[in-house]
Structure 1
């Protein structure tokens, strides 16, 4: 039996997760600049993991909550 691929566990701020999920779900990955095809695949994999592992607390939020998360994440950017 082959070993499964190694994995990494990440802990994200909820607002970051909402912003990332919304961006990934609404972006045409073919238009994202990449330097290697694996980069696009990794983004698609991340979207898939959000859809598979995240509960509706992140994947089924209303537009107002997405806007609030975007404000929260951008608030302390400093640039």
Structure 2
């Protein structure tokens, strides 16, 4: 039985995308706690989308841009 692939579009604030991409690129996904292998695959898929999505162009973010994005995202922390 074949399953139809469904796509869900998620909009991210550019700063969030930069922070997530930087974290995913610098994290050994083999060490991230998971309860199911699909969670690791979903993180890998997210990294691929962030890396190859030509609309975002975040792969070339400089250290200064990453630091600025981290600061912006941290400002919105409500906890």
TM-score in terms of structure 1 length:
0.88
Deviation at 1:3, TM superposition (A): 7.3
Count, aligned residues: 78
Matched, 1:57 2:53: no
> Is 2:26 aligned against 1:34?
no
Normalization by structure 2: what TM-score?
A: 0.88
Distance (Å, rounded) in 2 between the aligned partners of 1:6 and 1:46: 15
- Separation of aligned partners in 1, 2:3 and 2:32: 32
**RMSD between aligned residues:** 1.7
Unaligned runs of 5+ in 1: none
Deviations 1:1-50 (A, max 9, x none): x7751101111100000000100111000010000000000000110111
Query: Shift of the alpha carbon at 1:76?
Result: 2.1
Ranges of 4+ aligned residues in structure 1 off by more than 3 Å: 54-57
Q: Please give the residue correspondences for 1:1-79 in structure 2 after superposition, counting only pairs within 5 Å.
A: 5-55=5-55, 57-79=57-79
Gaps of 5+ in 2: none
How far residue 55 of structure 1 moved from its aligned partner, in angstroms, is 4.7
Which protein is richer in helix relative to its size?
1
Q: Distance in 1 between matches of 2:54 and 2:15?
A: 13
